[in-house]
């Protein structure tokens, strides 16, 4: 596969997503000014800020220093996760609501699709749709897509390929999901783990199993803590082995890098704010895929996966370098 020409790819991304190419506006400025509503806050970019997140509710309920810190999270665009914690029709309605609001605002939503059979190999985020139902579930969710959201496809699924039973035809499922979601208008990035997991060569080999007939590129560092610099160096190696395909990086909680733990490690920090990247690399964007303040699981004193944990949210925000 020939290397994708950077100028052409970047122009296509900008046109499809209508994202700004200038730098971000620091939410810390909003916090310092005591922002009390989303309408009063400067936009970070043309990515959509969802007022329905747990962080947003916590920010609205907070006061004083806590409110200023939580503004850093609540007013930053983040991904909307859709999985099988609800039935397929309900998930479709959620997607239609979220992407519809983003489209109505003239902004781009970010979806994370997370329902692969054998999800998380039964760990803190275990579950997923039964093997026989995954294709129908994906098609139903895809029916709800409005506009051209960015989609992060199945975090950990490719990195955990073959690690446990119950995965079915995981490669086939990912291929099908990429096709279905792309046909619905999404720009799909296949999750490929992080720089501390698979070697660059192995990540590239697994990505090629899925292929890029439909998916735009790949995603790295979802819900993890590897630094942006380390992740980008690794990603460029992967990209070079898959025809120069572009990638996105989750920077939501990597401001202090990794301490070797993945489940609610302490002492971490919010990372760089989301933005479109247009340079000589294959990096398309820095995104907040994981929602900071939502627990990784019942570990290190945290609640169940996905539940709001204000203590860790405040810690991440206080440690941010912006």
The residues carrying an active-site annotation are: 120, 156, 296
- The residues, ordered by sequence, that sit 6+ positions from 272 with a Cβ below 8 Å of its Cβ are 228, 251, 255, 286, 322
Question: How far apart, in whole angstroms, are the C-alpha atoms of residue 70 and residue 301?
Answer: 20
Cα dihedral 217, 159, 125, 191 in deg (nearest 10): 0
Using alpha carbons, select from 161, 247, 249, 237 the residue that is nearest to residue 199: 237
Pick from 111, 71, 26: nearest CA to 293? 71
Which residues neighbour 28 within 8 Å (Cβ) at sequence distance 6 or greater?
Answer: 72, 320, 322
Alpha carbon distances (Å) from 27 to 77, 107, 242, 295: 11, 18, 36, 22
User: Among 73, 88, 144, 78, which Cα is nearest to 112's?
Assistant: 78
């Amino acid at each position: 596969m020939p290397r994708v020409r950077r100028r052409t790819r970047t122009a296509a991304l900008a046109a499809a997503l209508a994202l700004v190419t200038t730098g971000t506006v620091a939410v810390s400025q909003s916090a310092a000014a005591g922002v009390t509503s989303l309408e009063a806050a400067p936009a970070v970019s043309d990515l959509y800020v969802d007022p329905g997140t747990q962080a947003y509710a916590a920010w609205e309920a907070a006061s004083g220093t806590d409110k200023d810190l939580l503004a850093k999270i609540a007013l930053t665009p983040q991904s909307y996760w859709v999985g099988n914690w609800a039935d397929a029709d309900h998930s479709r309605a959620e997607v239609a609501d979220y992407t519809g609001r983003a489209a109505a605002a003239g902004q781009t939503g970010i979806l994370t699709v997370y329902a692969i059979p054998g999800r998380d190999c039964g760990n803190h985020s275990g579950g997923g749709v039964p093997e026989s139902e995954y294709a129908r579930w994906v098609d139903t969710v895809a029916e709800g897509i409005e506009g051209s959201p960015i989609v992060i496809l199945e975090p950990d699924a490719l990195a955990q390929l073959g690690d446990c039973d119950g995965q079915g035809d995981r490669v086939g499922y990912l291929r099908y999901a990429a096709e279905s979601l792309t046909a619905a208008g999404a720009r799909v990035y296949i999750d490929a783990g992080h720089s501390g997991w698979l070697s660059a060569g192995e990540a590239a080999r697994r990505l090629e199993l899925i292929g890029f007939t439909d998916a735009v590129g790949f995603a790295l560092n979802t819900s993890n803590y590897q630094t942006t610099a380390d992740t980008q160096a690794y990603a460029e190696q992967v990209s070079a082995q898959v025809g120069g395909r572009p990638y996105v990086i989750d920077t939501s909680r990597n401001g202090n890098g990794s301490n070797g733990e993945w489940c609610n490690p302490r002492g971490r920090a919010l990372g760089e704010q989301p933005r479109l990247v247009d340079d000589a690399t294959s990096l398309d964007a820095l995104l907040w895929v994981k929602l900071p303040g939502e627990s990784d699981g019942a570990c290190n004193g945290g609640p169940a996966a996905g539940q709001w944990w204000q203590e860790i949210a405040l810690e991440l925000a206080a440690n941010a370098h912006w």
